[in-house]
Structure 1
Amino acid sequence: MLTTFRTNIQDKLNSLPFKTKATAMAVLLSLLPVVGVGSLAYFISNTNLTEAETNNQKSAAAALSDALARFISIRTKDATYLADLPFVNNPNIAKTLPLAAKEEFLNDYLNRYKFYDSAMIFDLQGNPIAASKGSSRENHADRDYFQAVLKTGQPYISKVVTSQTTKQSSIYFVAPIKDIITGQLSAIFRLRMPVTALEEIAAPYGVNNAQWHIIDKNTSKFILAFEKAQVGRDTKDFARYEQLKNSDKPQSAFDIDRLTNNPQLISVLSLPKSEDLGQSNLGVLVAKDTKYVEAKANEVLVVLLVGMLVAGGTTVGLALLTGNRVTKFVKQMAESIVNSSTEIVNTVEMQEVTVNMQANSAIDTSATVNELGAVSFQSAAQAEAAANGARQALALSEDGTRSVQQTLQGMSGLRDKVDAIATQIVTLSEQTGQITVVSDLVADLASQTNMLALNAAVEAARAGEQGKGFSVVADEIRKLADQSKKSADKINALAEDIQTAINRTVMVTDEGTKTVNEGIDLARSTADTFAGVTDAVNNVFLNSQQISTNAKQQAVSIQQVLSSMTNISQGSQESAVGMHQVKMTTRELTQVADELKAAVV
C-alpha cells in the first residue's frame, strides 16, 4: 500500500509543468536558510533573556535582604542609645524628673520615629516605670524578651510575635539599663516595632510586576507582602521554596503559586545570621508571573517573525523572478529548435528528391555531412560550458551560506551588549544602595544629636539661671540636628528615584535595535549573493547564443550540400536511404522539442 501511495505521488509530481517544479525548488531553497536562522536566533535570544531576568530577580532579592538587615540592625542601636540616656540610667536625675516628663519624651520619640508604636521602661520585676501613650501597663516579667535581658544583661531582638488580641505582628528591641554609678542592672528599656514598618523598606522592590514577600522563618508564614491577601499564607504554598530557603546565596526556580495557580519565577534569600539581627530570623521571596518573564522573549519573537517574513518575501520574489526567466529562456530555445528542425525537414526532403536524381555528387555530400557532424560536436562543447555556469551558481550559493553565518555572529554581538548593560545596571544599583547606607547613618547621628541636645536642655533647666545660656545653645543644636535629619530624608528620596530610574532603563532596546540593523545589512548581502546566481544564468544564455551561431554554420554547410548536389547526377540508392534516415531523425527532434515546449508552459 505504501509503495502504491509513493508511486501515485511520483506520478503527480512528474505531471507538474517544468515551470512549477523549477519555481517550487527555488522557493524551497531560498526559504530554508531564512527559517533556520530565525529559529536559532529566537532560541538564543529566549535563553539569554530568561537568564538575564533570573539574575535581575536574584539581585533584587539580595538587595531587599540587605536593606532589611541594615534597618533592623540600626533599630537595635536605638534601644541601646535610649537605655543610656541620663534621665534613665542616672538615679539622681531619674528621681527628680517627673513621670509626665519621661512619658512625654517617649511619646515625642515615637512621633519622630513612626516605625515604633510603643516604648516602655520596666523595673527588674517587670512593672512599668514609664510608658508611651497606648502601651499596655501590665506586668511583663513573663515575656521571653524580658527574661532574656534579665539573665544576660545584653541587648535582645525578639522573634516576630503576633498579638492574640490585635493579631498585629511585631518585633521587640530590648536593652538593659545599667546604673551609671554602680554599673549594675537597674531597669529594662523596650521598643516595639510592628512588622508593617518594614513595608517602606520593601516597597521599592515591587516594580516591573515583581511581588515581594517577607517571611517569618520561625513560623514559615508570610508576615508582610506586596499583596495584602498574601499575608498569613504558609510558605508551603510554594513547593520549591522548601528546597531553596536554607541557601546563603540568592536562589531562583520556576514554581506554581497555589493561591492563584499562576506559574511564577521565584527568588529566595534568608537574612544573614548576626547578633545585630537577634532572633528575628527573617527571609525574603521575590516572585514574578512567567508571562511577564517571557514578555521580552515574545517581543523578540515578533521582531524575528517580521524579519523572517520580509526576508522570506524578498527571497521568494527573487526565486519566482529567476524561475520565470529560466522557464522563458528554455521555452525560447525549444521554439528555436522546432523552427530549425522544421526547416531542416523541408530542406532534407528536397535534398532526398535531388539525391535520387544525382548519384554522382555522393562524395561531396558525404564530406559536407562530416562537416555537419563536427559542428554538432562543437555544440556539445557549448553544452558543457553551460554546465560550468551551473557550477558557478552553486559556488555563489555557498557564499550566501557564509553571509548567513555572519548574521549569526551579529546576533552573538547582541547577546554581549545585553550582558554589558546588565553589568552596568547592577553596578549602579550597588552604588545607590551605598548612598542609602550613608544617608541612614547621617539620620541616625542626627537623632542621637537631638537626644543629646534634649538631655543638655534638661541639665540646663536643673542648673537654673547659670544654665540659661547653655539651654539656648542646646536648642540650636537640636534644630541643626532636625535639619540634618530632613536632609538625610531628602537624600534617601533621591536615592529611591535613582533606583526607580535604573529599573526602567531602556538601553537594552537601543542596542538591540542597532544589532537588528546589522542583521538587515547582512540580509542585503545575502540578496546580493543570490543576485550572482542570475548572472550565472545569463552566462548560460550567452552559451546558448553560441549554439545558435553553430546552427547557422550547419545551415551554411547544408547549402554546400545543395550546391554539390546540383552537379551530381542521379544519386545512389544508399544516399537516398541515408537522407531518409536524416529526415526521420529530424522529425523526432521536432517532436521532442514540441514536448519540451509544452512542459515549460
Structure 2
Amino acid sequence: MKLRQVVPWGFTAIVAVLIGNGVLSQLTARGLTNTVNEVMQGYRVQTSLQALEQVIVDLQLGERGFIITRDPDFLRPYQTAQSNLAQEFARAKTLLQNEPAQLQNLNELEALSNEAIAVLSNNIARVRNGETPSSEELIQGNQVIEQVRVKVAQMLQAESQTLATRKDIVTRAEILSAISTLGGTLLGTLLGLSIVGFVIRQVVQPINQVTLAITSSSTEIAATVAQQEHFATEQATSVHQTNSIMEELGASSRQSAEQAQKTATGAQEVSQLAETGIQAVSYTLEDMSVLKAKVEQIAQQILHLSQQTDRIGNISELVTALANQTNMLALNAAVEAVRAGDSGRGFAIIAEEIRKLADQSKNSAAKIGVLVSDIQKAIAATAIATQEGTQTVENSLKTAEGMAQTFTGVTTAISSVALNNQQISLNAQQQAIAIQQVVSAMNSLNEGAAQTANGISQTKISTQKLNEAALDLQAVV
C-alpha cells in the first residue's frame, strides 16, 4: 500500500476507535446514572414502607394507651396516625407505580390496615361507652397489626432483593466501562505506532536515497558542463570551417536544454504533489483537534456526574445525623418514661419504636454512603481512562505535525532541484551559442566534437537519473 492510502485509512481507523470509545463511555455513564436513580428509588420505597409501618404502630400504641389509662390524650397519636395513613399510602402508590407486584402487595397491605383500624376503632368506641373490650377483641387487633407488619417485612425484603440486583448491574457496568476504555486506548495506540513505522519505512528512507541520487547526478552534470565550456572556447577559431558540424552540435545542445527543462517541469509537478500531501496532513490535524475537543467534553460530563454524586453523599450524611439525633431523643424519652413509672409505660413503648426507626434510618443512610463511594470510584476510573485517551490524541497530533514538517522539507528540496535544472537548461543554451562561434582547426574541432558528444551523453544519463529519482519520489508520495 502507498502512503496516500495508508495515512487516510490509518487515521480514519484511529478516529473511529476513539469516537467509538467515547460513545461507549458516554453510554456507560448514562447507564450508571440510570441505575443510581433506580437504587435511590428503591431506598425511597423502603423509607415509605417503614413510614407506613410506623403509622400502624402509632395507631396500636394510641389504642393501647387509651384502653389502659382511659385518658383521651392518648388518642392524639392515634388520630394523627389515622389522618396520615392515607397520605402515606398515596405516596407509596406513587413510588410503586412501575412495580406491579409490589403495588399489588401494597393494596393488600392497605386492606389489612383498614381492617386493623376497624378493630382498633371498635375497641376505642367500647371504652368510650364505659365498656371493657374482651381479650378476644384485643387479641384480634394484635393479630391484624402483626399481619400488617409481616406484609411490610415481605415488601421490604423484595425491595432489598431488587436493590441487590441493581448493585450487580452497577458492578458489571463498571467492569465493561474499564475494559472498553482500556481496549480502545490500546487499539488506537497500536494503530498510531503502525502508521508511524510505515511512514518511516516508506517515506523517510526512500527520500534519503533519492536525495543522495540527486546530489550525485547534480555533481556529474556540473563537471560535464564545465568540460563542455572548456572545449567550446578552444573551438571558437574554427567555427567558419565546421558550420554544418556545429549546427548538429547546436541541435544536440538544444535537445539537452529541452530535456533539462522537462526535468524541471517534472520536479515542479512533484513539488505540487508534496504540497497536496501537506494539505492532507493539515486536514488530519484539524480532525484530530476536533476529536480532542469531544474527549474533553466527555471529561467535563464525568466531572459533573461526580459533583452530583458528592451531593448525594452529603444528603446521606445529613440523614445519618438526623437519625443519631432522633435516637438520642428516643433514649431521653425512655428515661423520662421510666421516671414517670406506670403512667409513662405507654410513652416508653413509643420511645422504643422511635429508637428502632432511627436505627433503621441510620442503616439506610450507611448503605447509601457505601453505594455513593462505589459510584465515585467508578467515575474516577472512567475519568482516568478518558484522560489517557486525550493523551493519546495529543501524541497523534504531535506525530502528524512532524509529518507536515517532513513534507515541507521535501517540497523545499524539490524546489531547489527544479531551480538547478533550469540553470542547467540556460547553460546548455549558452553552450549552443558558443559552439556556433567555434573556429578552431579541424583536428581540434573533431576532438572537441567527440568530447562534446560524450559530455552531452553523460548529461543525458544524469538527467535520466534525476527523472527516475523524481518518479520514485512521486510513487512514494
Structure 1 length-normalised TM: 0.33
| More helix, by proportion | 2
Bigger RCO (CA 8 Å, 6+ sep): 2
